[in-house]
Amino acid sequence: MDAYSADRSLKGKLRRRLARLFQRRRLSLRLERPMLTLSFDDAPVTATTVGADVLQARRVRGTYYFSAGLAGGDGPMGRYAGEDDARRLAEAGHEIACHTFSHLDCGQAAARAIIDDVDRNALALKAWNLSPVESFAYPYGDVSIRAKRALGGRFRTLRTVQAGLVEDGADANQLPSVGIEGPEGEAAAMHWIDRAADRRAWLILYTHDVADSPSPWGCTPEALGHIVDAALARGFDVVTAAEGARRLGL
C-alpha cells in the first residue's frame, strides 16, 4: 500500500462532520474507572511483534485492525503482518479486528463496494481460522453516512481517527480516537490520558508500526510502554475494543 491520506478538502471535512449527525448508536457510559484501548491500524509486523511484547510485558492486550489484502506486502510502515502473525496474536489474547480487505477509503466508496470489501475481509480472516471479528476501524479514519449505514449493524464499534474521548452519548458507529504518531505522539497521549482519567471516560489510542525509528504514523516501543505505564498508574482498565464495547452493553 502506498502512502495515502483521506480527502482533507473542505468538502471532505464537511462530509465527516455531517456524518456525525446521522446513523448514530448512542452509548451510555457509567464507568467506575476510565478505560484505555491500544489499537494498531493495518497491523505492520513490528506492531505484532515489538508492540505486542510491550503490551504483554505489562499483562495487557491490544486490538489489531487487519486488512487481509495487505498481508505480507510492504508499505510505508514496513511489512504487513499475515496469517501466522494474526493467529499468534489471537492465541495470546489480543483482538483481531476489521479494517476492510483492501484498505478501502470508506468515506468516498459506494455502499456496495464497502460491503463487498468487508465481506471479503471476513472470509479471509475466517480462512485464517480466526473468530468472527467484532470491531471495525475506518481506513484513513474516513467516514460517510452511507458507510455508517452499511456497517453500523455489523460491528460492536466503528472507530475513526478524529481526536476525542468516548463519553456518555458517544456514537458507537463513529467513535473518536487519538493517534500515537510522530515525535509528539507520546505527549498527546499523556494529555488525553489525564483528560480521560478526570472524566472517567474511554480513551482509544491508535498507532501503526512500533520501532526504534518508526514511520511518521508509528511510535517507539519506549513511548508505547510509557503510555501504558501511565494509564495503569492512573487506574485505567486496559481493554480491547471488543471488551470495552461489551462493558457498555454493545
Looking at residue 91, which CATH number applies to its domain?
A: 3.20.20.370
Is residue 126 over pLDDT 90?
yes
Mean pLDDT value of segment 130-152: 95
Residue 105 included in any domain: yes
User: Does position 60 have pLDDT exceeding 80, yes or no?
Assistant: yes
Per-residue pLDDT, 5 = 64
* Tens-place pLDDT, residues 232-242: 999 999 999 99
CB within 8 Å of 16: residues ≥ 6 apart: 107, 142, 143, 144, 160, 162
Residue 4 included in any domain: no
Q: Which of 87, 83, 90, 103 is nearest to 42 (CA)?
A: 103
Classify residue 119: in a domain, yes or no.
Answer: yes
| Amino acid at the residue 197 | A
138 is a domain residue? yes
Do the domain assignments include residue 2? no
CA angle 163, 6, 227 (to 5 degrees): 35
Please tell me what DSSP assigns to residue 132. P
H-helix or E-strand containing 144? none
Phi then psi for 228, rounded to 5 degrees? -65, -45
Q: Work out the number of other CB atoms within 10 angstroms of the CB of residue 5.
A: 10
In a domain, 3, yes or no: no
pLDDT above 70 for 10: no
C-alpha cell at 202: 474511554
Domain hosting residue 174, numbered range: 10-247
Instruction: For residue 84, tell me if it sits in a domain.
Output: yes
C-alpha 172/C-alpha 26 separation (Å) is 6
Name the domain count of the chain: 1
> How many helices (H) and strands (E) are present in the chain, helices listed first?
9, 10
DSSP structure string for 161-172: -----B-TT-BT
Is 5 domain-assigned? no
